[in-house]
Amino acid sequence: MVKPFSFIFFILALGLLCPSVLHAQRILGAVSLGMNITQVDGDEFIGYHKIGLHVGPMVAIPFGKNRNWSVSMELLYSQKGSNHSGSTDSTGFRLVQDYAEIPLLIHYTDKKLISGGLGVSYGQLINYKETKNNFFDSIFFYQTGLSNNDISIVADVQIRMWNKLWAGVRYQYSMKSNRTVLVKDPGTYPRLEYTRYQYNNVITIRLTWVFNQEKISKLPKKN
């Protein structure tokens, strides 16, 4: 994975460092910073209790008659996982997953003010840490290891706050299971067994600065 990621990083960096050159090609360079609010569906817990970092560069190519449409590619450092603080230390659980992620989206922008996008994202797991106590070892039995990659669908909404600054909310969900877990219910005797498939479930709040986007002296008035 080193060579593909290196090539993509080079293209993204080119968009950020050489905006005057790429402007002629109608390529926009940007960088995003935000936070992921996450949970892992299938880990027996409910709630978005894990907060993680979301940061990285982006390039976008506008197209269409009025350049309202665009396709974008990003290279993100994105933290996902799960966090559960139980009533005692024995019921605490935490999973931290660090991904190098490449989202590819198609956007539609209305009146240079609001933008919506849909697409897919590929994430390569670069590090993870799981903290669980003996209580979980007695009911959780991993049938497969944590997958090294995460393929997910992405939906995105952004609002232009000021000239080149956009604020956005993104939703992301795994298209395939990242791990399979056999759970033995401690509340039954004999214990009932059932299989859980785990999926990353992510809400992202972020700011994006578009370096070489055309400035607007005054935002359009809302009707």
pTM: 0.82
Q: What is the pLDDT of residues 149-208, one digit of tens each?
A: 999 999 999 999 988 999 999 999 999 999 998 888 776 677 778 898 999 999 999 999
The per-residue pLDDT for range 120-139, each reduced to its tens digit, is 999 999 999 988 776 677 77
Percent of the chain with pLDDT over 70: 79
Which residues lie closer than 8 Å to 85 by C-beta, 6 or more apart?
Answer: 49, 92
Three-state secondary structure call for residue 133:
coil
Q: Is the pLDDT of residue 66 over 90?
A: no
Question: For domain 2-210, which architecture applies?
Answer: Beta Barrel (2.40)
Two tokens at 206? 């972020």
> Do 120 and 102 form a contact (C-beta atoms < 8 A)?
no
Mean pLDDT of 1-16: 50
pLDDT tier at 45 (50, 70, 90 boundaries)?
Answer: confident
- With H, G, I as helix, E, B as strand and everything else as coil, classify residue 55: strand
In Å, the largest CA–CA distance within the chain is: 70
Amino acid letter, residue 24? A
Q: Is 50 exceeded by the pLDDT of residue 209?
A: yes
Please give the pLDDT value at position 22. 47
